Amino acid sequence: MNKHYIPVLCCSSKKNRDRFCYNGKYYKFLASPRMVSQDGVIFYKPDDRIPGTTKTWRDLVLEQNEPDLVPAYKLYSHVIYRDLYHVFGNRFYILSAGWGIIRADFKIPAYDITYSPNAPNYAIRTDDIGWNDINHLQEDSGKFDSNTEIILFASSYYAPHFCYMAQSIPYNKIVLKYTSNKSENGRVRQVQNCSWTNYYTTQKTNWYYEAAQRFTENYANKIK
């Protein structure tokens, strides 16, 4: 195959864990932790300081040493994350509203942070102030070659952040856009240092899972 594809899939609200254990206490990471109160679980933002230390929770995650961290492709409930990892390994990245663009096997804790406005207020990330997002895609881009094509499978709420984080990566970046009109299918336009192409489907909710599944199956069949 001529193209070297790098799939990026947005994160999911449905996860296989709902909290993170650290030093015998349970934590969960939110966009606005002050909005929530719950017995037995302590809430923080990823870049808040760990009490009694000089490092943040993100620093702790970057160390990758905590036993209750989970590889990202295993944290999310939908099977497409495992399917993509099986086919692409660490050429598959996940766009996480809490942690950034991360390699699929990078270990992260349970969290409830999203760019979607269709979520509780405490989970919605509304800005980039104070967020030190990890950008493994940028870090790894030096290993890519001229045939690389990066494809984002995500809702429109995630696309702007992806384009911002990937803006200096000098490879073709494609953002799929949902459409229910067949006549629009395949049209390509420029948007924020990326190109988008319409993806036709009758499935309105989480349509990008369907798109990623089709893409993964087609790619796997071609390399057999």
pLDDT digits (tens, 9 = 90+) for 37-93: 777 899 999 999 999 999 999 999 999 999 999 999 999 999 999 999 999 999 999
Predicted TM-score (pTM) of this structure: 0.93
Q: What is the pLDDT of residues 181-216, one digit of tens each?
A: 665 555 556 666 789 888 999 888 899 999 999 999
* 40 inside domain: no
Query: Would you state the structure tokens that stand for residue 121, as one six-digit string?
Result: 């207020």
Q: How many domains does the chain have?
A: 1
* 73 inside domain: no
* 153 inside domain: yes
* 93 inside domain: yes
> Residue 172 pairs with which residues in a beta bridge?
149
* 174 inside domain: yes
Q: What's the domain range around 90?
A: 4-12+78-106+133-222
* 8 inside domain: yes
* 47 inside domain: no
* 70 inside domain: no
Contact (Cβ atoms closer than 8 angstroms) between residue 46 and residue 98: yes
Whether the pLDDT of residue 34 is over 70: the answer is yes
CA–CA separation, 128 vs 148, rounded Å?
28
3 state SS of 189: strand
